[in-house]
Chain A
Amino acid sequence: MACGIRLQEAGKKCVIISSGQSALHFSSGSFDLLNTLPDGTKVTNPIEALKELKTQSPQHPYTKIGEEKFAHLAQEAQRLLAEAKIQTIGSYHTNHYRLTPFAIAKPTWLTMADYVNAEQLDHFPWKNISIINFTAYLDFHPNFFADKFRRMGMCVREIEIDLATIANNKNNLSEMRSTNIARLFDSEKAFANFANILKSKIEKNDAVLLPACLGLERTDVVDKLSDILGITVKLLPTFPPSVSGIRAQYLLKQRFMELGGTYMLGDTVNKVEFEDNRVTKIYTVNHNDIPLRGEQYVLCSGSFFSQGLVALPNDIIDPICGLDIDYISDRKQWFADNTFDKQNYESFGIKTDERFLAIKDKKAISNLHVCGASLGGFNALKEGCGGGVSLLTALYAAEEILGNKE
């Protein structure tokens, strides 16, 4: 999507084919750039850690991008999000901290501006806070947060609000999931009722923290609540699905479409034709015998979860294009016995040249760029770099296509 938006901004005609909705629906509310080096060293300043990353991991996508381009693309990513009305805080110079739904502080690069975040580990500027929960809400566990903040010496009040008082619901379990609650707040009337109830319950707090499920389409709920209450209002992450991730997906798609892009949702590429080391056309399930032809193609089909890569008993394949894959041929080395150890299979991906052009039968395909989780050479989970690799390599592909090598 980031690649498509960048291309449309530059006046190209771009089609995105997406097999169902994206992984942004499980977003934590943050994008990681680089949290840990492959040897386990913690990273505070991602840009400064690139030299060491190059030594430890010559095949890492960031190593291929290079230091200068890395800084440029990281800035571009933040600009692109902001233009799509996704406001974030953070910088590629220094990681800040976010909270997980289990209230564990983790370093990160960009965080949605209305989420709780801290510049230093476990350092929050409040002494007296309230944490709000909704009765019977299934995706949020405030006790984790309350416990954490109390151990940091804060005075924490946990307040539970029954949403049945602001809207006629609770007929069905599914109502108490994040997205359904979020929809309630899209209604001005329900929001006003909620704000009144909240105002009556808040006393002398520095901040009010609410679960991140306030408004599916609206983006102004936090700011409005803060104005009404006269104190800081911030969001705490919930378990998936992620309301802010869904909204981010919606806003990015909207931006892409407004720029004239075509978004084909719910379709799957089932055949790709090559000629002279170039992709000539692609076929999809929906469009069947009518192929799509482009000058340039970008593959961002993801890793195993989204079936961009498929593991056979002794082989790993790219089921779409049949590209060469970077992986260890000995299956025994794919996995570590301990689930929480580094798993080699997580670093497998499509082989690319130094410009992220796909390799097929040991030859680079001159108009097929690869980006995101389809790439190998990094471990998104252990290194905390999944969001950054996706955004930066997508923008790298866009700039390659546009011939902008600055």
Chain B
Amino acid sequence: MESINKSDNNFEQCLKCTICTVYCPVLAVNPDFPGPKHGGPDQERLRLKMPSFYDEANKYCMNCKRCEVACPSNVRIGDIIQKAKLKYSRHTPTLRDFFLSHTDLVGTLSSPFAPLVNTALGWNVTKQILDGVLKVDRHRTFPKYSHEKFTTWMKKHADEQKQYPHQLCYFHGCYVNYNFPELGKELVQIMNAFGYGVELLEEEKCCGVALISNGFASQARKQGEVNLKSIRKAVSQKKPVIVTSSTCAMTLRDEYPHVLNLDNKDVRDHIEIATRFIYRMIHETKAFDVSKLKFRNRPLKIAYHTPCHLEKLGWEYYSLELLRLIPNINLTVLKPNCCGIGGTYGFKKENYENAQKIGAPLFKEIEEGDFDFIVSDCETCKWQIEMSTSKKCIHPISVFAQALD
């Protein structure tokens, strides 16, 4: 007998316990959002009957996955909502959505003119135009573009990287490539110290997370296929693939199969965040003796903010363990509050106010803490924290690299 209402997610596992609604950061500030339980599993059974039951208010979901972490029944609530948005939404992405999500295109166009673009994006008049015409909120500060892309720098250093006894591939992501190559360079520095030479993937596209959340599923799928092909090649050459962005890591591992229906199970376990790779070398395989490292022994009082997507992966432990290797460090783990940015979510005029409300408890805790700076693995958390507080936010890899003598 053919089954009807066949769903490709596990919405039927939902017990209606409502725990997810307690931990949804959007629901706490935006009453227009139906919430993870209602917008996810509850409405899914209606949507399966009739697509017109789709509620456009699901656009307010920022895909932070906090609902999934809280769910005692392992329902993939965030995935259910993301897939429903892609499948049923009648909303056509706007020009603003296009520019915010096509990071490779915008990055490639901006990098050659970085000084000009960075200056222009800082002007009030530019912000007013972006606000009025594109609906990108005028309060937002934009990440600066780098004149030299990380990939350009890597190509210059490719030969010296080949001299190391082991090789790994680095999925750098758009932020490191177009905005902040320094983080990539610091990763190379650390990996070299651990005996690994760093290579680029044969071809790397944006992981596609912004395309997914802005409704460009087919483009995200195309880019995913390119990335998976390159990752497969690296894995077949026994090269691990490491990532510094927690959101890229989650997308490559989980959003590809769960939201884009891209089969990655042959390579999924070979993709990991850099701090986990280092943890394995130090604590598991004992391939590296950490006592060989020399630190500057500078006293640091820092606080770690767990990005939502890293919490979903369950991997903040590795970043914290890496930071704990640094001598003379006073490390506070901030309360598990979302910063509110949600990738491109907080850039949108209609979400800006709520994004700041979501982040308010985190900002307050940061300002009250008298920390030297904040540490986090996510670039968009960094933008949000630096825009909304007086503190800098630095990646754990950079903190570790800068602590080395």
A residues apposed to B, CB below 8 Å: 19-22, 25-26, 169-175, 177, 179-180, 183, 216, 240-241, 246, 257, 262, 264-268, 284-290, 306
Contact present for A174 and B317 (CB under 8 Å): no
Q: Known contacts being A20-B71, A175-B31, A240-B17, is A25 close to B22, with CB within 8 Å?
A: yes
Q: Known contacts being A180-B28, A183-B28, A266-B314, is A26 close to B284, with CB within 8 Å?
A: no
Which residue from chain B places its CB closest to the CB of A183 in the assembled complex? B28
Give 7 nearest A-B pairs by CB, closest first: A286-B314, A20-B72, A266-B69, A171-B31, A172-B31, A174-B35, A179-B22
Chain A residues near B38 (CB, 8 Å)?
Answer: 173-174
Chain A residues near B104 (CB, 8 Å)?
Answer: none
Q: Is B116 an interface residue (CB 8 A)?
A: no
Interface 1/0 per residue, B97-132 and A, CB below 8 Å = 000000000000000000000000000000000000
Contact present for A172 and B32 (CB under 8 Å): yes
Bound: A266/B316 CA distance, A: 12
Q: Report how many A-B pairs have Cβ atoms within 8 Å.
A: 83
Q: Known contacts being A20-B74, A257-B333, A265-B70, is A25 close to B312, with CB within 8 Å?
A: no
Contact present for A264 and B314 (CB under 8 Å): yes
Q: Is B353 an interface residue (CB 8 A)?
A: no
26 contacts between A and B (CB under 8 A): A20-B70, A20-B71, A20-B73, A20-B74, A21-B70, A169-B31, A170-B31, A171-B31, A173-B38, A174-B21, A174-B35, A174-B38, A177-B21, A179-B21, A179-B22, A180-B27, A241-B17, A241-B18, A241-B21, A241-B22, A262-B317, A266-B69, A267-B314, A284-B314, A286-B314, A288-B269
What distance in Å separates the Cβ of A16 from its nearest Cβ neighbour in chain B? 12
Q: A266-B68, A284-B314, A306-B72 are in contact. List 10 more A-B contacts (CB 8 A).
A: A20-B70, A21-B71, A21-B72, A174-B34, A177-B18, A240-B18, A262-B317, A264-B314, A266-B70, A287-B314
Bound: A20/B34 CA distance, A: 21
Contact present for A286 and B313 (CB under 8 Å): yes
Contact present for A290 and B276 (CB under 8 Å): yes
Contact present for A20 and B19 (CB under 8 Å): yes
Q: Is B225 an interface residue (CB 8 A)?
A: no
Bound: A20/B313 CA distance, A: 13
Bound: A25/B32 CA distance, A: 24
Which residue from chain B places its CB closest to the CB of A19 in the assembled complex? B72
Chain B residues near A174 (CB, 8 Å)?
Answer: 21, 27, 31, 34-35, 38
Contact present for A26 and B17 (CB under 8 Å): yes
Chain B residues near A180 (CB, 8 Å)?
Answer: 21, 27-28
Contact present for B311 and A265 (CB under 8 Å): yes
